[in-house]
Chain A
Amino acid sequence: MNYRGPLRVRIDEKPMPEILHPQDAIVRVTRSCICGSDLHLYNGSVPDTRPGMTFGHEFTGIVEQIGGEVQKLKVGDHVLVPFNIACGKCVFCQQELYGNCHESNSEATAVGAIYGYSHTAGGYDGGQAEYVRVPYADVSPTVIPDGMDPDDAVMLTDVVPTGYQAAEMAGIQPGDTVCVFGAGPVGIMAARCAWLFGAGRVIVIDCVQYRLEFARNYAPAEVYNFKELDDVVLFMKKTTDWMGADVCIDAVGAEAAGNAMQSLLGRKLLMQGGSATALHWAINSVKKGGIISIVGVYGPIDTLVPIGNVLNKGLTIRANQASVKRLLPRLIEHVQSGVLNPKALITHRVPLEYVSDAYRIFSAKLDNCIKPVLLPPSVRS
């Protein structure tokens, strides 16, 4: 996959990746997904996204080659590769903040490294390819447990841990009303996981009807289409006995629709780090003393949010890139025991060669798409 500019991606031949560090592995990709995070790149809104780069941070694959210091992984292992590149040694990794590693992204200190996610996230080519270089191969990559469906495994590289961490950061107490903004894969998974933490009521807000239907059945959740609500915040107050939700989760991020000014400044003119409509609604819909959990991704520059209300309402804001490695043991259990069924989110299985169409289908929300997975030629024959 080769990014050529906003809304333009195509398939190209590129040189084979090589071992560049003794802890590297080269992995032959077996599955790779397109993520809502890729849409920020695809739309050209992440600074230092260089034409020529290969995207893709959610992938599984077979280890083909390992560097001299790799001890745990063996050639032939089928691994799922968490989207964060983490060294395991720096103080942040030592504290299990694997999404905030300090030894993998030279270009920035405010974000850890992510495969195929612009130079602002480290300048690594990603997994929407046949082969990919995997640094620190012994730290995060995990051998897919026996009997696990590779479709479930690829969802454990990002969507499941991110949805789960969204609910975890929300500090849900038994009985809490949880409002999730966004019914993309991440929001749907966050709504599903909110129940695991004891939520008493789960509400999902989006404007894409088929996604709301999916969330309604899958999470399950009460769902509302914001295009049919005059005022989302007022609606949330009314439906919570005028208190507001106990916690709100932003699973939308920079591409949010629903407010013309935010969309103009954040998506068209790129004068802020994205359109913060969902975050704005979250801050204003939560109760006093409530918690906002942000997993929706925003750009590095300033973004307009009603910070005055955060202060006056005494809100707690918790946010991060998911720490996939930290959460994997628990989440593998949940998948194996059948509590979570992540592969059900996969609606499209697209040959890698059709990556341009897959991006369009996912980004324009065509053909009832929830989550597309790309299949390289080697797994199709």
Chain B
Amino acid sequence: MEKRLIDPSQVKGWGIDADPKNDPTYPMKARNNGEHKGYSWQRPTQQRGDVEVLHSNERPHLTAVFGTSTPPRGLSGLLRRFAFRYSESSYGHWLPLMAADRIGVAEGYVEDLARGHIPNVFAERGWAAEWKYNRGSLLLRIGVGVAVISAAVAYLSSDTD
């Protein structure tokens, strides 16, 4: 626990208007002020394992248990490691993570293809359900897409001659 620089009992008027009933967190929280003592609880057994887990620099160590889904790897992993050098209060943390998420999508295509799987993007996006329940809007969107692409193709080909 950090050392107090000022002893409250020496401060004039200390606590004279304190009202323990003035607790806006009730009943969400059963206040016991345990956190005044810092990391004082008996920590659960520490999970072990060799999976790479990035931890927020706003905590001193890994939590007793942690998730092991999809450890950082590839270019997105490099970015994620970089992001965790910044606190949760910094754009330096969140922006690289967002970028890494998008790069991860591209890496996902490469991984799929590498194991001989061509992802069916339409199925993944649930277009079967759109076809069943929202056909009009789906056709309209496809129509608009086709129109935009044909217009672009027409424009580009007219430009080249």
Q: Chain A residues in contact with chain B, CB under 8 A?
A: 4-10, 20-24, 44, 47-54, 69, 85, 87, 89-92, 94-97, 102-110, 113, 119-120, 122-125, 135-136, 165, 168-169, 270, 300-301, 316, 318, 320, 323, 356-361, 364, 366-367
The chain B residue with its CB closest to the CB of A299 is: B94
Once the chains bind, are A87 and B65 in contact (CB under 8 Å)? yes
Which of A49, A54, A95, A108 meets B56, CB within 8 Å? A108
Q: Which residues of chain B are within 8 angstroms of A323 by Cβ–Cβ distance?
A: 28
**In the complex the two chains form, is A47's CB within 8 Å of B63's CB?**
no
Given the known inter-chain contacts A97-B28, A119-B54, please indicate yes or no for A103 contacting B105, CB distance below 8 A.
Answer: no
Inter-subunit contact B101/A366 (CB<8 Å): no
CA–CA, A22 to B108, complex, Å?
33
Within the complex, which residue of B42, B56, B63, B126 is in contact with A361, where a contact is CB–CB below 8 Å?
Answer: B126
Which residues of the partner chain B approach A168 to less than 8 Å between Cβ atoms?
A: 27-28
Q: Considering only CB atoms, which chain B residue lies closest to A112 in the complex? A: B63
Q: A51-B104, A87-B65 are in contact. Are A318 and B123 (CB under 8 A)?
A: no
Given A4-B119, A123-B67, A123-B69, answer yes or no on A357-B129 (Cβ-Cβ < 8 Å). yes
Return chain A residues, CB-CB under 8 Å to B76.
50
Task: Report the bound CA distance from A135 to B7 in whole Å.
Answer: 42
Cα A344 to Cα B107 with chains together (Å): 41
Q: Which residues of A contact B55 (CB under 8 A)?
A: 106-107
Mark B17-58 against chain A: 1 for CB-CB distance below 8 A, else 0. 000000010011111101101001111110101000111101
> CB distance B124 to A4 under 8 Å?
yes
Minimum CB–CB distance from A100 to chain B (whole Å) comes to 9
Distance of B66 from chain A, by nearest CB (Å): 5
Question: Given known contacts A53-B69, A123-B66, is B56 in contact with A103 (CB within 8 Å)?
Answer: no
Inter-chain contacts of A7 with B (CB < 8 A): 124-125
Given A91-B40, A97-B29, A320-B28, A103:B65 Cβ within 8 A: yes
Q: Which residue of B lies closest to A89 (CB)?
A: B41
Chain B residues near A124 (CB-CB < 8 A): 67, 69
B91 at the interface (CB under 8 A from A): yes
B44 pairs with A136, CB closer than 8 A: yes
Q: Report Cα–Cα, A125/B67, bound state, in Å.
A: 7
Whether B148 sits at the interface, judged by CB under 8 Å, is no
Q: Could you tell me the distance between the alpha carbons of A300 and B97 in the complex, rounded to whole angstroms?
A: 12
A113 vs B55: C-alpha distance when bound (angstroms) = 13
- List chain B residues, Cβ under 8 A from A92: 35
Q: How far is the CA of A316 from the CA of B28 in the complex (A)?
A: 14
Asked whether A105 lies within 8 Å of B41 as measured between CB atoms, the reply is: no
Instruction: Give bound CA distance, A54 to B70, whole Å.
Output: 9
Extra pairs beyond A5-B108, A123-B53, A123-B67 (19, CB < 8 Å): A22-B45, A48-B80, A48-B100, A50-B69, A50-B76, A51-B101, A52-B108, A69-B45, A87-B65, A89-B43, A95-B31, A96-B30, A102-B63, A107-B53, A119-B67, A123-B68, A357-B129, A360-B126, A364-B129
Q: Is A5 a contact of B123 with CB atoms below 8 Å?
A: no
CA distance A96 to B55 in the complex (A): 24
Q: Can you give 20 A-B contacts (C-beta < 8 A)?
A: A10-B119, A20-B65, A23-B44, A47-B98, A51-B70, A52-B69, A54-B69, A69-B45, A87-B44, A95-B32, A103-B44, A106-B62, A107-B84, A108-B56, A113-B63, A123-B53, A124-B69, A165-B28, A360-B126, A361-B129
Cross-chain contact B108 with A51 (CB below 8 angstroms): yes
- Cβ-defined contact, A90 with B101, below 8 A: no
A53-B70, A95-B34, A108-B88 known; A367-B133 Cβ under 8 A = yes
Q: Which residues of A contact B125 (CB under 8 A)?
A: 7-8, 356, 360
B59 at the interface (CB under 8 A from A): yes
Q: How far is the CB of B73 from chain A (nearest CB, A)?
A: 9
- Min CB gap A260→B, angstroms: 19
Q: Flag B97-130 by CB within 8 Å of A: 1 or 0 each.
A: 1101110110110001000000111011111111
- Chain B residues whose C-beta falls within 8 Å of the C-beta of A48 in the assembled complex: 80, 83, 97, 100-101
Distance between A367 CB and nearest chain B CB, rounded to angstroms: 5
Complex Cα distance, B39 from A94, in Å, reads 13
Interface residue B134 (Cβ < 8 Å from any Cβ of A): yes
Q: Which residue of B lies closest to A100 (CB)?
A: B29
Q: Which residues of A contact B134 (CB under 8 A)?
A: 364, 366
Report A361 CB to chain B, min CB distance, Å. Answer: 5
B64 an interface residue at 8 Å Cβ cutoff? yes
- A103-B65, A320-B28, A323-B28 known; A47-B97 Cβ under 8 A: yes
**CB of B120, distance to nearest CB on chain A (Å):** 8
